[in-house]
């Protein structure tokens, strides 16, 4: 046997054997833990409302001063700053917060699982077992005259702790819920601190994303034993935490928080995926601020008539549209930018048939439909246009000579008539 051939065969076998080991030589990538229900590419939005007219009794009781003192707030994030935001954006909602999950990074012994160098143990993994949601997102506010858009660059991090106790620590034991500006990171206001820990970490603090395994009874107990106790020891202001089925309430009875003449209630609820569904702060029966999970999906137009042309004397023309949406609300139709169908309820997947008025003038007519959903005050709208062209009426041909009279017939008639006149004249002369 040829020795070179033998060596070549052995070498080939060794190479193939080493290839089998390649999948096992890659760095292990940690699985996303069950406490995180969001996925890469997921986009979520929340709408925040500030009811400035509801602050009358709050202001009369001078509650902003007591509130900011107890929670270590400043002029940048206290209740006065919240009301000032409403003055700049009078229409509800004053702000929309939006986030897109770009990457989910799980802790593996102090380092990110993909070892991309984007985060280091000193910067991020201050606590073992957490999951980092690498986000892009921001805040939208429709200021009069110009929109305010604050975009957080890709790399904005939000921690999701693996235990109720650790997540509660990240939230300052509930202090973050005391300010809408803190809770939303509305102005990218940076880190906030309470009790000397928890919120001093290098990430954006928000209340939007919770671990899926939160024990709300434990959450309330921690709030009472940490934040509530600390505020009582420092200021003799009484607050208490109560657990709800899917969230909690932080409250202060009238007369127990400075000069409050009304009960104070702060409520937050979450869904099974750890997404904030509702946040509210009340003074007595007055809702001061609230925030709700927003439907950010636009309706989809699935079928529509094509542009078309009709004769000038058309009749019985209809235009059809069909759209789908989880939360359909109302549609409207405009012809040449003038409303012809005012807001009317529509159903997902059910065709809209619009009967075009007969007798429209020759030329082009643009029909535009707007499908809106139920998102309060700022509905998601999908539009579609159909162009109808009406041809001009045909112009009848212009005949030569007198209509209805042929030239030879006219000449013959005149000749006979003339001869007749001459004959009659001569006869009379005889």
Domain ranges of the chain: 43-294, 300-390
Distance, CA of 174 to CA of 107 (rounded, Å):
24
The pLDDT > 90 percentage for the chain reads 53
pLDDT attached to residue 157? 72
Looking at the predicted structure, is the pLDDT value of residue 192 above 70? no
∠ CA 109-115-119 to the nearest 5 degrees? 80
The CATH code for residues 300-390 is 2.60.40.10
What is the arithmetic mean of pLDDT over 191-200? Answer: 43
Condensed to tens digits (0 to 9), the pLDDT of residues 227-267 reads 999 999 999 999 999 999 999 999 999 999 999 999 999 99
pLDDT attached to residue 332? 95
Reported pTM: 0.74
Higher per-residue confidence, 76 vs 422: 76
Left if phi > 0, otherwise alpha if psi is -120 to 50, otherwise beta: which for 145? left
Please classify residue 78 by burial: count the beta carbons closer than 10 Å to its beta carbon, then call 0-12 exposed, 13-18 middle and 19+ buried: buried
Distance, CA of 409 to CA of 388 (rounded, Å):
49
Length of the chain: 430
Report residue 40's pLDDT band, with 50, 70 and 90 as the boundaries.
very high
Residue 101 tokens read as 């999950």
Looking at the predicted structure, is the pLDDT value of residue 202 above 80? no
Which residues are within 8 A (CB) of 411 and not within 5 positions of it... i.e. 6 or more apart? none
188 in Cβ contact with 150 (< 8 Å): yes
């Amino acid at each position: 046997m040829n020795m070179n051939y033998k060596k070549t065969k052995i070498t080939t076998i060794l190479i193939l054997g080493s290839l089998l080991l390649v999948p096992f030589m890659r760095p292990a990538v940690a699985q996303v833990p069950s406490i995180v229900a969001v996925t890469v590419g997921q986009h979520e939005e929340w709408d925040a409302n500030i009811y400035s007219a509801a602050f009358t009794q709050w202001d009369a009781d001078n509650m902003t001063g007591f509130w900011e003192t107890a929670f270590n707030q400043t002029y940048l994030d206290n209740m006065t700053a919240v009301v000032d935001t409403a003055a700049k954006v009078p229409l509800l909602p004053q702000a929309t917060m939006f986030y897109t999950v770009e990457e989910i990074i799980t802790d593996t012994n102090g380092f990110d699982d993909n070892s991309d160098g984007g985060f280091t143990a000193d910067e991020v993994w201050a606590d073992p077992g957490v999951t980092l949601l690498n986000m892009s997102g921001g805040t939208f506010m429709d200021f009069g005259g110009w929109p305010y858009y604050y975009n957080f660059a890709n790399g904005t991090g939000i921690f999701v702790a693996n235990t109720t106790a650790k997540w509660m620590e990240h939230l300052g034991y509930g202090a973050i819920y005391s300010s809408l500006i803190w809770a939303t990171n509305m102005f990218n206001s940076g880190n906030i601190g309470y009790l000397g820990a928890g919120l001093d970490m290098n990430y954006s603090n928000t209340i939007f994303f919770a671990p899926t395994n939160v024990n709300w009874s434990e959450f309330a107990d921690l709030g009472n034993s940490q934040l509530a106790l600390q505020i009582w020891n420092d200021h003799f202001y009484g607050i208490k935490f109560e657990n709800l089925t899917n969230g909690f309430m932080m409250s202060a009875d009238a007369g127990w928080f400075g000069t409050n003449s009304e009960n104070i209630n702060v409520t937050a609820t979450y869904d099974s995926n750890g997404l904030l569904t509702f946040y509210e702060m009340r003074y007595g029966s007055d809702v001061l601020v609230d925030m709700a999970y927003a439907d950010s999906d636009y309706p989809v137009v699935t079928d529509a008539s094509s542009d078309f042309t009709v004769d000038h004397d058309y009749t019985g023309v209809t235009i059809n549209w069909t759209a789908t949406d989880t939360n359909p609300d109302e549609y409207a139709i405009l012809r040449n930018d003038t409303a012809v169908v005012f807001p009317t309820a529509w159903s997902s997947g059910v065709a809209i048939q619009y009967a075009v008025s007969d007798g429209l003038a020759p030329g082009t007519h643009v029909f535009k439909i707007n499908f809106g959903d139920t998102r309060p005050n700022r509905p998601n709208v999908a539009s579609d246009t159909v162009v109808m062209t009406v041809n001009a009426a045909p112009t009848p041909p212009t005949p030569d000579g007198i209509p209805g009279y042929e030239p030879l017939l006219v000449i013959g008639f005149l000749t006979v008539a003339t001869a007749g006149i001459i004959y009659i004249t001569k006869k009379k002369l005889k």
